[in-house]
Amino acid sequence: MKTILHLRVNGQDHEVYVAVHKTLLEVLREDLNLTGTKHGCELGECGTCTVLVDGEPVLSCLALPIELQGREITTVEGLADGATPHPLQTAFAELGAAQCGYCTPGVLMASKTLLDHNPHPSRDEIKHALAGNLCRCTGYAKIYEAVELASKT
């Protein structure tokens, strides 16, 4: 069963013709070529596929895009303002807050929601907001520091 979907991703409207059982993650990567969002566990246990729907983090591996028509979907590709990186991206780059980098897109998106709601979070609030984003390299200290740095800029 295939259908035409109208998706709004990173401020742009897209029309795609896809099977209804494709997840948002698959449609983003395979049909819209937005490969910044990563495949991880595929079962909602790692957080690397985190994208924003109407500004709130959700796991794209467990989301059906057919349900998200008319919603504002934001991926890591939509984080920068043109050629200017988002302050979070700058902070992550400056502090080397990515080791292998595989969790980074999801961490950035969850961090963006946190800073949008709470521009100056405490370390505990950062930990709580990023609790669902696992870093296999266990590089959490740098990640927390980078979010704190971004919150000061």
Partner 1 sequence: MRSFKYYTATSWEDAVATLGKYKNAQIVAGGSDVLGWIKDELTGPGAPLADVLIDIRTIPNTSYINYDATAGLKLGALTTLTTVAESSDVQKNYPGLATAAVSPASPSIRNVGTIGGNIMQRPRCWYLRGANFPCYKKGGDFCFSVTGENQYHAILQGELCYIVHPSDTAPALISLNATANVMGPNGAKQIPFDQFFIGPRTNVLKETVLEHNEILTEIVVPPPAANTKSVFMKVTQRGVYDFALVSIAVAAQIVNGVWQDGRVVLGGVAPTPYRATDAEAALKGKKIDANVALQAAQDTLVKARPMSQNAYKVDIAKNIIVQAVTSLVS
Residues in the chain: 153
Q: Which of residues 93-132 bind partner 1 (CB under 8 A)?
A: 110, 128-129, 131-132
Interface residue with partner 1 among 31, 42, 125, 148 (CB under 8 A) is 42
Interface residue with partner 1 among 36, 44, 80, 140 (CB under 8 A) is 44
Interface residue with partner 1 among 40, 47, 105, 121 (CB under 8 A) is 47
Burial zone of 19 (CB within 10 Å; 0-12 exposed, 13-18 middle, 19+ buried)? exposed
* CB-based contacts of 52, cutoff 8 Å, min separation 6: 58, 72, 73, 74, 75, 109, 112, 113
37 binds partner 1 (CB under 8 A): no
Q: Which of residues 48-87 bind partner 1 (CB under 8 A)?
A: 50, 56-59, 62-64, 66-67
Short-list 100, 60, 95, 96, CA closest to 77: 60
Short-list 104, 93, 98, CA closest to 38: 104
Binding site for partner 1 (CB under 8 A): 1, 3, 19-23, 42-45, 47, 50, 56-59, 62-64, 66-67, 110, 128-129, 131-134
